[in-house]
């Protein structure tokens, strides 16, 4: 059967007398007219490969874009405009930096704050790309301002640490500081004696409790030259001097150090500290539980790790600030806070609505803040999703 063309009333070719020129001419005219009115199927077929190719290109570009974002803005090892800020070269003026213990982001955040690298994210990328980075040790290091992240990692991986002094990292507890003194050569008997008599070295507002009063810094002391008690005295004097400089009243100093120590153990980014300080003040103002896990961990004698339901429910632990624990602040600081954390307590963010925070990425330290319980629950769910995607991660 002859297929009828749309829009054409097709009856078949007209019949003419055999050998009629006019008939053949008429027949050709009719056929030509009919062909002219047929849809251009060949044109449509020729466009299909182009459309398929265009879609394929878009899919590839989308995949490359997603891969680039996932890899911190790098594509096959090359920087793209999506990459985090980074300097070029090996840096300018020399600078002394206290390299903290921790993962690549912890180190990168400190270097970015000191303007050694342009961003913590760029440092993390360079850290992950350098197989020697895992051997980087904390301590006092001679570096340069505005180094490329790659050159900063390379320099740190050489581990040329200045061992001429004693370094107290930010966020260390009294027990960690004691062990560090022993590990670096001070006789254990002298260290034990120094801490047994520490109440005589503390100001009255400390009420005999040294936690939080041993300022994190590097001290020009050596085991064979400086008694342990003198080192401890220097740490306490440094804290007192800073509180004097910030004009913290004596009757508020212990409270300021408690709040600052909570922030020190929770914050991973400098910009988060004032917001955390605001959240603490807002919750205390309405008599809400603080719910800070770092405090409960301290009460359990730990500085990291997960918490069991039984531990969260144990209200007898005075450092348990969960809803089944204790309201208000813990009885003492939980670590040695940095100047940045102390200043955050003295100058919290102007945000009367913020009540919650949750670190949603344990590797980068990304923290999200929330005003409502519902928003906070979403952030907690994001953290749980990250943990499921990174089983066994321990930074």
Say if residue 148 is in the same domain as residue 173.
no
Q: What 3-state DSSP class applies to 210?
A: coil
CA distance 348 to 287: 18
Tell whether 134 and 265 lie within a shared domain.
no
User: Within the chain, where are the H helices?
Assistant: 21-36, 41-70, 104-113, 120-129, 149-157, 174-183, 188-196, 228-245, 253-266, 273-285, 293-299, 309-313, 339-346, 373-389
Q: What tens digit of pLDDT does each residue of 194-230 get?
A: 999 899 999 999 999 999 999 999 898 989 889 999 9
Q: How many CA atoms lie within 13 A of 189 on its CB side?
A: 0
In a domain, 255, yes or no: yes
Number of domains in the chain: 2
Contacts of 12 (CB under 8 A, 6+ apart): 2
Q: State the burial class of residue 333 (Cβ atoms within 10 Å of its Cβ: 0-12, 13-18, 19+).
A: buried
Q: Please report how the helices 228-245 and 339-346 are oriented relative to each other, as an axis angle in degrees rounded to 10.
A: 30
CATH code for the domain of 143: 3.30.1490.480
Reported as a pLDDT band with limits 50, 70 and 90, residue 13 is very low
92 phi and psi angles, rounded to 5 deg? -115, -110
Instruction: Note the pLDDT of residue 170.
Output: 92
- What pLDDT is stored for residue 132 in this prediction? 84
Average pLDDT on 272-283 reads 96
Residues 223 and 119 in one domain: no
The reply to whether 211 falls in a domain is yes
Higher pLDDT, 54 or 3: 54
| 185: number of Cβ within 10 Å | 10
In angstroms, the CA 85 to CA 328 distance is 40
Q: Verify that 185 and 334 share a domain, yes or no.
A: yes
Same structural domain, 270 and 319: yes
**94 pLDDT higher than 70:** yes
Q: Taking residues 300-317, what's their average pLDDT?
A: 90
Which residue range is the domain that position 115 belongs to?
94-157
Residues 139, 260, single domain; the answer is: no
Compute how many other C-beta atoms are within 10 angstroms of the C-beta atom of residue 290. Answer: 19
pLDDT in tens, 99-109: 887 788 889 99
Do 140 and 284 reside in the same domain of the chain? Answer: no
Residue 60's pLDDT is 53
Least confident of 16-20, 126-130, 241-245, 315-319: 16-20
- CA triple 42-43-46, angle to 5 deg: 85
Same structural domain, 266 and 349? yes
- pTM (2 d.p.): 0.64
pLDDT of residue 43: 55
Residue 56 has pLDDT above 80, yes or no: no
Last residue of a domain, one of 157, 182, 211: 157
Backbone angles phi, psi at 234, to 5 degrees: -65, -40
pLDDT in tens, 350-362: 999 999 999 999 8
Q: What is the pLDDT of residue 38?
A: 52
More confident residue, 281 or 44: 281
Q: 17 pLDDT exceeds 50?
A: no
Say yes or no: 180 and 312 in one domain.
Answer: yes
* Strand-strand pairing, 218-219 and 367-370: unpaired
Q: What is the pLDDT of residues 142-171, one digit of tens each?
A: 889 999 999 999 999 887 765 568 989 999
Q: How far is CA 314 from CA 80, 198, 323, 332, in A?
A: 51, 30, 10, 18
- The helix (run of H) or strand (run of E) holding residue 79 is strand 78-79
Q: Bin 98: left if φ > 0, else alpha if -120 < ψ < 50, else beta.
A: beta
> So what's the pLDDT on residue 11?
37
Asked whether residue 146 falls in the same domain as residue 193, the answer is no
Q: Give, to the nearest 10 degrees, the angle between helix 228-245 and helix 188-196.
A: 40
Q: Is 132 a member of any domain?
A: yes
- Measure the CA–CA gap between 319 and 298, rounded to whole angstroms: 7
Spell out a b/e string for 89-110, using b for 16 or more CB atoms within 10 Å of the CB, else e.
Answer: eebeeebebbbbbbbbbbbbbb
What's the pLDDT at 54? 64
Q: Are 129 and 151 in contact (CB under 8 A)?
A: no
Q: Are residues 112 and 251 in the same domain?
A: no
The residues, any chain, with a CB within 8 Å of residue 26's CB and separated by 6 or more, are 14, 16
Lowest mean pLDDT among 144-153, 300-309, 335-344: 300-309
Q: Is residue 361 part of a domain?
A: no
Q: Is the pLDDT of residue 39 over 80?
A: no
Does residue 77 lie within any of the structural domains?
no
pLDDT at 220: 87
pLDDT at 103: 82
Check whether residue 144 and residue 247 sit in a common domain.
no
Of 81 and 175, more confident = 175
């Amino acid at each position: 059967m002859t297929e009828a063309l749309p829009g054409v009333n097709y009856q078949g070719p007209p019949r003419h007398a055999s050998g009629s020129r006019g008939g053949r001419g008429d027949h050709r005219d009719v056929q030509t007219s009919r062909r002219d009115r047929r849809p251009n199927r060949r044109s449509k077929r020729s466009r299909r490969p182009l459309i398929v190719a265009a879609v394929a290109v878009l899919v590839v570009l989308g995949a490359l874009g997603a891969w680039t974002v996932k890899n911190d803005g790098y594509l096959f090892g090359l920087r793209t405009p999506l990459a985090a800020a980074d300097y070029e070269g090996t840096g300018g003026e020399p600078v002394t930096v206290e390299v903290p213990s921790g993962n690549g982001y912890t180190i990168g955040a400190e270097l970015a704050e000191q303007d050694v690298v342009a961003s913590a994210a760029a440092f993390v990328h360079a850290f992950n790309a350098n197989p020697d980075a895992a051997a980087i040790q904390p301590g006092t290091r001679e570096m340069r301002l505005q180094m490329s992240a790659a050159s900063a990692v390379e320099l740190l991986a050489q581990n040329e640490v200045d061992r001429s002094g004693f370094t107290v990292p930010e966020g260390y507890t009294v027990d960690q500081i004691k062990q560090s003194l022993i590990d670096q050569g001070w006789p254990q008997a002298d260290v034990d004696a120094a801490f047994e008599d520490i109440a005589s070295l503390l100001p009255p507002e400390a009420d005999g409790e040294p936690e939080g009063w041993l300022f994190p810094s590097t001290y020009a002391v050596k085991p064979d030259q400086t008694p342990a008690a003198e080192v401890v005295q220097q740490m306490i004097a440094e804290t007192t001097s800073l509180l004097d400089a910030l004009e913290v009243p004596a009757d508020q100093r212990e409270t300021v150090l408690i709040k600052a120590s909570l922030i020190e153990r929770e914050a991973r980014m400098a910009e988060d500290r004032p917001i955390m300080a605001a959240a603490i003040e807002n919750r205390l103002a309405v008599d809400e539980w603080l719910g800070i896990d770092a405090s409960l961990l301290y009460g359990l004698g730990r500085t990291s790790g997960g918490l069991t339901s039984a531990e969260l429910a144990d209200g007898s632990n005075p450092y348990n600030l969960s809803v089944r624990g204790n309201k208000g602040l813990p009885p003492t600081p939980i670590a040695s806070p940095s100047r940045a954390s102390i200043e955050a307590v003295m100058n919290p963010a102007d945000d009367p609505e913020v009540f919650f925070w949750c670190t949603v990425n344990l590797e980068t330290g990304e923290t999200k803040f929330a005003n409502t319980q519902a928003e906070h629950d979403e952030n907690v769910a994001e953290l749980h999703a990250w943990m499921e995607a990174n089983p066994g991660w321990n930074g």
